Structure 1
Amino acid sequence: MNKQIEALFTTALGLQAPWQVAKVELDTTRRRIDFEVKYTAKRSACPDCGLVDQGIHDHMPRSWRHLDFFQFEAWLHADVPRIRCKDCGKTTQMPVPWANEGSGFTLLFEALALSLVQELPVSQAARHMRVGSARLWRRLDHYVSIAREQDDMSSVRHIGIDETSVKKGHAYITVVHDLQAKRLLFATPGRDHHTLEAFAQDLHAHGGDTRNVKHACIDMSAAFAKGIAQSLPQAQISYDRFHVVALANTAMDDVRREEMRTSADSVREAVGLQDTKNVRQLFWGMCKDPSDWTKGQINAMHWLQRSTLKSARAWRLKQALREVYSQAVNANSENLAKSLLIKWISWARRSRLEPFKRLGATLKRHFDGVIRGMLDGRSNAYVEAMNGLLQQARTAARGFRNVGNFISIAYLRMSRLKHLPSNPLLPALPRLVGQTHFCR
């Protein structure tokens, strides 16, 4: 082939002497272009001990998939030298500058693949790049592992801990987020106190110190509380508003279901609704913010609030708890927050509604953490928002055979890892005014 063409492709592939393109074959029928790369030097340094000027023992044929050239699938082929070292006595294969050891892809191909799987499901990215998804998973795991090894957690002080489902049934992972840096720190299968022991070990491995973690925001999981007490001794626990109000919604829903089961006719008569479907729509409205009620729900709630139904009392209790949070946050007063919550707990325990009596007892047991959650701005609102992204990551990892793949894609998308290859498809620089190029 024309020496100028070989030199052009050598430059385009980013090769430097003594590596160069020796042959290019274009097969338009197969939509493929193959580059034969040659190592032109006769001697080289030992890849193992670094001793210079060692002889080449033999060559090993290798192939790598590269970024497409135009519309053609591109492959690099090279007889890679093996160096026999007189000093260390080893015969070692020379690393090539365009690929990682053991990979069948070039570095640029892998960089593009990582950029795609941050936006697309892995199986879809694999189809776009015309490779097997299993091979893409292996390279993703490789790069995420390397990037996490270099991750710095020395500044971690405030964390949020939650659980999320991995598959249908009871398969869960525990996730730990940095509430200040707004990123995923750690994910591991399970949801017991041992998961926080694993986090503490991972934190130390990345330059962090469990004694420096001052704040942990969690739901009312006894397992997480136990894990924090054992593994994060300086962390104060807070229970954020989201989970507390969610418990109140659950209690109200329990009251509603029981009342509909035992006295549906009384409910319809009390609120002036004709059928069970309309009553159910009303109760759905009870779970929404009043500003989101429809006209029909506004009218129905007007009657409900003046009824003697248990559901009406449950709704008033739920709304009163939301008001406790609102007043405490606006006043930013710990004394006021404690006073209001004590009054609400007393009301709940005298309500003769078993779900709210249980909720009152729960809040009393976790009183200090609930108060901290009221007044501390570092709630798990970010963590809950990230759960949506975790479920997107689960969708991106659909077809995964093990939880490790799901965790890898979560790290890639949510950990803000700094030591990952950049997307190689950068926009071209504009041509200079008056500059012309001619192809011969």
Structure 2
Amino acid sequence: MSVGVEALFTSALGLQLPWVVEDVKLDTAKRRIDFEIGCQGVSLSCPACGAAAQPVHDRLRRSWRHLDFFQFEAWLHCDVPRVACGGCGKTTQMSVPWARPGSGFTAAFEALALTLCRDLPVRQAAALLRCGDKQLWRRIEHYVGQARALERLDGVSVVGIDETSLRRGQHYITVVHDLVAKRLLFATEGRSHQTVLDFVADLRAHGGDPAQVRHVCMDMSAAYALGVTKALPQAQISYDRFHVVAMAMEAMDQVRRQEMADDPTQVRQALGGRTPQALRQLMWGMRRNPATWSRKQIDTMHWLQRSGLKSARAWRLKMALREVYAQARTHNDPEQADQDLKAWLGWARRCRLEPFKKLASTLAERQDAVVRGMVDHRSNAFVEAMNGPLQQAKRAARSFRTSTNFIAIAYLRMAKLKHLPASPFALAQAQ
């Protein structure tokens, strides 16, 4: 191999003296290229204390996987010197500039792996890179932990708290998002009040002030409410309108299912002798916004509203609650929103539908926080939106072996970490 080619690859790999490419071997049959890197000089500075002109004690053989060279798998090999220092008395191995200590991949390869894992399932990224997914998980956890240690969380004032499932059964992850900056702040296993206390401790560790957190948006979890009361005394709680309306939807579904189970013939007669297919249209028509009804759903819902079914009352109650939220958003008047909600609660208590009576009792106990959520227009919609892609990636990759894996990929994708390695394929800045 000519000296010009070796010098070319030395420059391409970003090496500087005493590190140089001494040999390049291309094996087209194995689709592999190997770079032999040498460290010139018989005396080097001590890596431990910096003393100059210290003798080389011995050399240890090391190899690293690098970015592919065209279609070829690329590897770097080097006999890394260990320096025997007369100043500090230590024998220390030199650090190589292309990889972090202890890693079998170059820094550029790891940066590309992180870039791919932001958008692809980890197992799919591993297949593209021709390496094991366990190797990628270790690097995700290392760099995410390193980046989070450098993150500053000062200025956080509005947060959303929610839970997401880790796997089937009672296995949950609590996530806390900054609803202003739209980023994940904290994730931990469990969904008890202790998770909120852990978040506050993490917030302090990263320069945040719990006293600056003025607003917490969440579902009606008693455990989260207890944690906020203990650890964030300055914060006002508002219950997310998404969860409140979802509770009304569930109450409505309970009424419909029970009515169908008790007397399906009466339901069909009240709907004009509707077929089983039309009954399915009823289910979706009751759940969907009227503006999105199909023609069949419009027809079915017309019959429902003219009937005396319990399901019709349940649907009207659900729609009335949505209207309470719409009016609160329009008028932005806490007193009016409180009066409208009280009126709805009175109707729900008198409706003789047990699921709605229970819902009215639940909302009445938390009325101030529910009204606050109406008027402030704050929502956990961002948190809910982020749970979807994370669950999809989990199902696609089928490689979230532990809660640590799950939390690490959540931070990588949603925390907007500023101290991760930049992609090696980022566009060069114009000079």
Whether these two folds match at TM > 0.5 is yes
Q: Kindly provide the amino acid, as one letter, of the partner of residue 69 in structure 1.
A: F
Contact 2:166 2:173 in 1 (8 A): yes
**Cα pair distance change 1:27/1:212, threshold 3 Å:** same
**Cα pair distance change 1:81/1:394, threshold 3 Å:** same
**Helix, strand or coil for the counterpart of 2:263?**
helix
Q: CA RMSD in A?
A: 1.6
The alignment of Structure 1 onto Structure 2 pairs a total of residues equal to 431
The gaps in structure 2 that reach 5 residues or longer are none
- 1: CA distance between counterparts of 2:288 and 2:424? 47
Q: CA shift at 1:429, angstroms?
A: 8.8
Contact 1:393 1:410 in 2 (8 A): no
Question: Which residue does 1:147 correspond to in 2?
Answer: 147
**Cα pair distance change 1:211/1:20, threshold 3 Å:** same
Matched, 1:294 2:257: no
- State which drifts further: 65-74 or 240-249: 65-74
**Cα pair distance change 1:173/1:266, threshold 3 Å:** same
Question: Which residue does 2:183 correspond to in 1?
Answer: 183
Q: For 1:312-327, what aligned pairs fall within 5 Å after superposition?
A: 312-327=312-327
Q: CA shift at 1:390, angstroms?
A: 2.0
Q: For 1:40-439, what aligned pairs fall within 5 Å after superposition?
A: 40-395=40-395, 397-427=397-427
**Helix, strand or coil for the counterpart of 1:325?**
helix
Q: CA shift at 1:54, angstroms?
A: 2.0
Q: CA shift at 1:367, angstroms?
A: 0.5
- State which drifts further: 142-151 or 419-428: 419-428
- State which drifts further: 177-186 or 278-287: 278-287
- State which drifts further: 94-103 or 373-382: 373-382
TM-score after normalising by structure 1: 0.95
Contact 2:213 2:235 in 1 (8 A): yes
**Cα pair distance change 1:214/1:131, threshold 3 Å:** same
Contact 1:122 1:396 in 2 (8 A): no
- Seq. identity, %: 60
**Cα pair distance change 1:410/1:91, threshold 3 Å:** same
- 2: CA distance between counterparts of 1:125 and 1:27? 25
**Cα pair distance change 1:366/1:199, threshold 3 Å:** same
**Helix, strand or coil for the counterpart of 1:180?**
coil
Contact 1:36 1:78 in 2 (8 A): yes
Question: Which residue does 1:438 correspond to in 2?
Answer: none
Question: Which residue does 1:20 correspond to in 2?
Answer: 20
- 1: CA distance between counterparts of 2:141 and 2:292? 44
Q: CA shift at 1:280, angstroms?
A: 3.1
- 2: CA distance between counterparts of 1:235 and 1:51? 55
Contact 1:120 1:396 in 2 (8 A): no
TM-score after normalising by structure 2: 0.97
- 1: CA distance between counterparts of 2:428 and 2:205? 41
Q: Kindly provide the amino acid, as one letter, of the partner of residue 409 in structure 2.
A: I
- 2: CA distance between counterparts of 1:294 and 1:22? 71
**Cα pair distance change 1:32/1:167, threshold 3 Å:** same
- 2: CA distance between counterparts of 1:209 and 1:428? 38
Q: CA shift at 1:136, angstroms?
A: 1.3
- 2: CA distance between counterparts of 1:175 and 1:274? 45
- 4+ residue runs over 4 A deviation: 427-430
Q: Kindly provide the amino acid, as one letter, of the partner of residue 122 in structure 2.
A: V
Q: CA shift at 1:202, angstroms?
A: 1.0
Superposed CA offset, 1:232-259 (max 9, x none): 1211100121011000000001111111
Contact 1:393 1:409 in 2 (8 A): no
**Cα pair distance change 1:70/1:280, threshold 3 Å:** closer
Q: CA shift at 1:231, angstroms?
A: 1.6
Contact 2:38 2:78 in 1 (8 A): yes
**Cα pair distance change 1:321/1:360, threshold 3 Å:** same
